[in-house]
């Protein structure tokens, strides 16, 4: 889920907008609430309007907004978990505050170098083995 309601420049939780939404969910007898994605790097958002943690999140009015969101979300006793995220390569240009020339960051840009042990060979052969197994089962049907 993505609420996409936070606004620049800090993308703090928009408590005035969230209050009614999370209060109603909290009162609805769900076993657990999970928030929309809260991005961990203000430079990389998945879409404009993502809530973001930032260098000042634990200070003053910023921190008060986070605390109020938590208070409203769990006011009726329903547990609420914040879903932390980083969009990696899926970060749209213009969605965060990164400079235009800055590339997106993601783990897949770091090449995996496997050795020559049997385990390394097994891991590198696993995708093709699973694909062959799947094809075998589909052909038997």
Do 11 and 51 touch, CB atoms closer than 8 A?
yes
Buried/exposed code over 101-113 (b: 16+ C-beta within 10 A; e: otherwise): eeebbeeeeeeee
pLDDT for residue 133 is more than 70: no
Residue 87's pLDDT band, with cuts at 50, 70 and 90, is confident
C-alpha–C-alpha distance, residues 70 and 67, integer Å: 5
Check residues 115 and 83 and name the one with the higher pLDDT: 83
Vertex 119, ends 114 and 124: CA angle to 5°?
50
- Strands of the sheet containing 80-85, edge to edge, are 51-52, 33-39, 80-85
pTM for this model (two decimals): 0.69
> What does the pLDDT look like over 88-127, one tens digit per residue?
878 887 788 888 888 877 766 666 677 888 887 777 777 6
Q: Look at residues 3, 18, 17, 10 and name the one whose alpha carbon lies nearest to residue 50.
A: 3
């Amino acid at each position: 889920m993505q609420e996409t309601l936070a606004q620049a420049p800090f993308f703090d939780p928009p408590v005035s907008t969230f209050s009614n939404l999370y209060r109603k969910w909290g009162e609805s007898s769900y076993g657990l609430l999970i928030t929309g994605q809260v991005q961990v790097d203000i430079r990389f958002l998945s879409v404009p309007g993502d809530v973001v943690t930032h260098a000042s999140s634990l200070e003053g009015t910023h921190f008060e907004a986070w605390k109020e969101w938590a208070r409203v979300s769990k006011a009726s006793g329903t547990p609420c978990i914040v879903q932390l995220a980083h969009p990696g390569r899926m970060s749209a240009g213009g969605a965060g505050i990164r400079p235009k020339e800055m590339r997106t960051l993601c783990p897949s840009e770091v090449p995996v170098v496997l050795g020559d042990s049997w385990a390394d060979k097994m891991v590198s052969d696993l995708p093709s083995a699973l694909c062959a197994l799947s094809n075998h089962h589909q052909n038997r049907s």
